[in-house]
A and B are shown apart, each in its own frame.
Chain A
Amino acid sequence: MDSMPLSKASRLFWLGRYYERVAATLTYLWDWYDKMIDGVPPNCKDFCRALEISCPYLSTEEFLHDYVFDGTNPESLRTAADNMLGNGMMLRETIGSRTLSYLELAVTAMESGVGSLSPTLPLQRTIDYIMAFRGCYDDCIADIEVRNIIKCGASIERLSLYLRLGWQLERVPTEVGRLLYRTRRARLSACPGCLQVLENLSEPYNDSDKQKLLAAAEQLFSL
């Protein structure tokens, strides 16, 4: 492994968490835009409660605009996208300008959706660019330990969203497996107690298991 300042590990990890937060949450919200057409909006209060974020939105319509696009809201997806790019910018020489350019494009696409009558089109491009970013970093970063730090972040973010939103729960075991595999190959020091929980809990999960898994995943690394 090449020399990389230790502080970059935390940036790589958060880069993984933020890109996955943007891509996965947008995928999750995809249906919501569709449901809005028929006038049956899902409840954004439940969503915010599950993610433990504030819910100042007066309607789902407002939520879909502000939570997604408002860069001045520190809990918004737009802020997550800015943080994704910000971490990427501080990793330019590690991940490469070519890889970084996809993050720049993803944010630009998101920006272009502000006030759009068909916001899912630019958001689709955002997701596309993040997918391209995933492919590109996997390809460009020779060092498996560096790649796996990003992937650990992404896995944790996924587990967090799945478990909090009760979404795609059938994928949780696979994702836990991936996280454990990546953790072993990331040269990061993981919390032993959390590892134990992740290694030992198996399906079917009851509610208390889910809480334990969530806590274990989110606290696995202190970065």
Chain B
Amino acid sequence: MEALLAHKDEINEQLARYGVKFGIYKEGSYNERLFPFDPHPRMIGAEEFRQLEQGLAQRVVALNNFLYDIYHEKKIIKDQVVPEEFVYRSPGYLAQCEGITPPHGCYSHISGIDLVLGKNGEWYVLEDNLRIPSGASYPLIARALCRRCSPATFQQHRVLDNRDYGKLLKHTMEHVNTGGINVIFTPGRYNAAYFEHAYLAEQAGAVLAESGDLFVENRRLYCRTSCGATQVGALYRRVSDEYLDPLFFEASSLIGIPNLMDAYMAGNVAIINAPGNGVADDKGIYYFVPRMISYYLGEEPILHNAPTYLPYFPEDFAYVMSHAHQLVIKDVAEAGGYGVIFGSNLTQEELEELKKAITAAPRRFIAQEVVDFQDLPVSEGEATVERKADLRAFVLTAESPVVWPSGLTRFSRNPDSFVVNSSQGGGFKDTWILCH
């Protein structure tokens, strides 16, 4: 490992050379920043990974069943496993998608599941991302560059190769392709994840296109290319649902494709991931994922949620009221909400105010125990310090879910912070899945 750490600067130089950046908007202007890389990898043993793989695959299958069910028969609501209001009040639920069956019935082709490792050695799922989970490109390119900078490290440590992500992605697109080329649809160069869009297009051999390149005619999606109008069979869109089609969704969208939904409803194009997935990765719905697994699959959930309470249920309400000071409270309403609040940071008055808000609208909140998760070593100058880190695992679903043997490990720069978001100055690590 020392060998790899000794090459920290070279690795970062290499990352700069390949333009591994993300963009942020600050005070109205767009800036690109290098995404800081820490050479200490997160290491996951073979046996541990097998467990994770099974748990993640199980979770993604259940979430996909849930999405199909919600937009069709809604059995899980009728059987009172998930209360109706959590579905229809979710900002991610799209009534416009009712009754639509995507090609192969697949909703979440690319799922990003955020996990943390507790001090007890257990993995906990913190969040499911079934809309546009980003970040796979970073460990993907970092691995290639680390191997270049420190070949000895990879001779000593047997690590599962993660560099086939492009192939995996290509296969995922091919599987649902309805006839035509594969396109990655980007909102454009000034999107935070533009590097990723372009890099994945290169890796998966897909065409990278913007809204002006694409149009719909006669219920088919076309790309204007140098060979004329070429039909698109699979669209990996990196544009969010509301902006996807200005004629069916948000009318003011300038980055969408007019009448894309018409082509989609006709079954003439696969949209990756399917529109409407937001209802399944909603903060409120998260609580029900373990129940979904039992309901749809008749299995015990392999992976646990962080312990979560819904004040909507009377027994959880009572617990939240008496333990608010030690819980994390999340407002599930989309806009103008309270965000994420750590009860321990509040004064007595603030705490009372929060309790009042919960009492007034219990459905709007979820509460979680603070998971005491393991810190990971991070290089800071010459020293090594311990920082909070999470793991985003990527599950790609074609015939069946495949867990990419790697993942994006993000860490917080600030020693007291649990926030590992890249826009907050955090960095990333490679995730090694060991061969033994």
A159 to B381, CA, bound (A): 50
Please determine whether A93 and B201 come into contact, CB atoms closer than 8 angstroms. yes
Counting CB contacts under 8 A, is B335 at the interface? no
B contact residues, range: 20 to 34
Report whether B19 and A104 are in contact in the complex, using a CB–CB cutoff of 8 Å.
Answer: yes
Q: Is the CB of B227 within 8 A of A93?
A: no
Q: Interface digits, A1-29 against B, CB 8 Å rule (1 contact, 0 not)?
A: 10111111100000000000000000000
Please report the C-alpha to C-alpha distance between residue A6 and residue B230 in the assembled complex, in whole angstroms: 11
CB contacts (< 8 Å) of B194 on chain A: these are: 89
The answer to whether B17 touches A5, judged by C-beta atoms less than 8 angstroms apart, is: no
A211 within 8 A of B: no
A97 and B199 form a contact (CB under 8 A): yes
**B16, A6: Cβ atoms closer than 8 Å:** no
Decide: A89 near B213, CB < 8 A? Known: A3-B181, A187-B226: no
Q: How far is the CB of B332 from chain A (nearest CB, A)?
A: 37
Q: In the complex, which residues of chain A have a beta carbon less than 8 angstroms from the beta carbon of B53?
A: none
Q: Are B226 and A1 in contact (CB under 8 A)?
A: yes
Q: Are A3 and B213 in contact (CB under 8 A)?
A: no
- The answer to whether A145 has its CB under 8 Å from any CB of chain B is yes
CB proximity to A under 8 Å, residues B1-39? 16-19
Cα–Cα, bound, A86→B194 (Å): 11
User: Is B17 touching A4 in the complex (CB atoms < 8 A)?
Assistant: no
Return B342 CB to nearest CB of chain A, in Å: 39
How far apart are the CA atoms of A108 and B34 in the complex, in Å? 13
CA distance A100 to B201 in the complex (A): 14
**How many angstroms between the C-alpha atoms of A177 and B198 in the bound complex?**
35
Q: Mark A73-107, 1 if CB is under 8 A from B, else 0.
A: 00000000000001001101100110011001100
Contact yes or no, B17 A105, CB < 8 A:
yes
Residue of B nearest to A96 (CB): B202
The answer to whether B157 has its CB under 8 Å from any CB of chain A is: no
* Total contacting residues, chain A, CB less than 8 A: 22
List, in ascending order, chain B residues with CB within 8 A of A145's CB: 226
Contact flag A7-B212 (CB < 8 Å), given A86-B189, A104-B17, A104-B18: yes
Do residues A97 and B225 form an inter-chain contact, with CB atoms below 8 A? no
Contact of A5 among B141, B202, B209 (CB under 8 A): B209
Q: Are A3 and B198 in contact (CB under 8 A)?
A: no
Closest to B184 in A: A93
CA of A101 to CA of B230 in the docked complex: distance in angstroms? 30
Q: Contact between B18 and A7 (Cβ–Cβ < 8 Å)?
A: no
- Could you mark each residue 192-231 of chain B with 1 if its beta carbon is under 8 Å from any beta carbon of chain A, else 0? 0011001101100011111011000000000111110010
| Most interface-central of A3, A8, A101 (chain B CB within 10 A) | A3
Residue of B nearest to A143 (CB): B226
Q: Which residue of A lies closest to B181 (CB)?
A: A3
- Within the assembled complex, what's the spacing in Å between the Cα atoms of A6 and B222? 12
The reply to whether A3 and B226 form a contact with Cβ atoms under 8 Å apart is yes
B213 — which chain A residues lie within 8 A by C-beta?
5-7
Assembled-state Cα–Cα distance A7/B208 (Å): 11
B18, B202, B223, B226: the one contacting A93 at CB < 8 Å is: B202
Q: Find chain A residues with CB under 8 A from B230 CB.
A: 3
- Given A3-B223, A6-B226, A145-B226, answer yes or no on A108-B16 (Cβ-Cβ < 8 Å): yes
Taken together as a complex, chains A and B put the C-alpha atoms of A93 and B19 apart, in Å, by 13
Decide yes or no: A7 and B210 within 8 Å by CB, A89-B198, A93-B201, A104-B17 being known contacts: yes
Select A101's contact among B19, B189, B210, B227, beta carbons within 8 Å: B19
Cβ-closest chain B residue relative to A5: B213
Chain A minimum-CB-distance residue to B188? A90
Query: Chain B residues near A104 (CB, 8 Å)?
Result: 16-19
Pair A6/B224 contact, Cβ less than 8 Å:
yes
- In the complex, what's the smallest C-beta–C-beta distance from A101 to chain B, in angstroms? 5
Q: Tell me the complex Cα distance, A142–B18, Å.
A: 21
A105 to B18, CA, bound (A): 9
Known contacts A101-B18, A101-B19, A105-B17, A5 near B223 by CB under 8 Å: yes
Q: Is the CB of B225 within 8 A of A4?
A: yes
Q: How far is the CB of A72 from chain B (nearest CB, A)?
A: 12
Q: In the complex, are the beta carbons of B202 and A97 less than 8 A apart? A: yes
Nearest CB in chain A to that of B208: its residue: A93
- In angstroms, Cα B213 to Cα A9, docked, is 12
CA distance A96 to B17 in the complex (A): 13
- Minimum CB–CB distance from B139 to chain A (whole Å) comes to 16
Report whether A93 and B16 are in contact in the complex, using a CB–CB cutoff of 8 Å: no
Closest residue of chain A to B186 (Cβ to Cβ) is A90
**B200 nearest in chain A by CB position:** A93
Q: Most A CB atoms within 10 A — which of B141, B198, B199, B224?
A: B198
For B189, B225, B227, the residue with the greatest tally of chain A CB atoms inside 10 Å of its CB is: B225
Shortest CB distance A125–B (Å): 13
Chain A residue nearest to B32 (CB atoms) is A89
Contacts of B226 in A (CB 8 A): 1, 3-4, 6, 8-9, 145, 187
Please measure, in the bound complex, the distance between the C-alpha atom of A8 and the C-alpha atom of B212, giving whole angstroms.
11
Residue numbers in B under 8 Å from A93 (CB-CB): 198, 201-202, 206-208
Distance from A20 Cβ to chain B, minimum over Cβ atoms (Å): 21
Give the residues in chain A near B199, CB-CB below 8 Å: 92, 97
Residue from the set A1, A90, A96 with the largest chain B CB neighbour count within 10 Å: A90
Known pairs A6-B213, A7-B224; list 8 more (Cβ under 8 Å).
A3-B207, A3-B226, A3-B230, A5-B224, A90-B198, A92-B202, A104-B17, A104-B18
Q: Supply 10 A–B pairs (Cβ within 8 Å), ascending by A.
A: A1-B227, A3-B181, A4-B225, A5-B209, A6-B224, A90-B189, A92-B198, A104-B16, A108-B16, A145-B226
Chain B residues near A (Cβ < 8 Å): 16-19, 141, 181, 189, 194-195, 198-199, 201-202, 206-210, 212-213, 223-227, 230
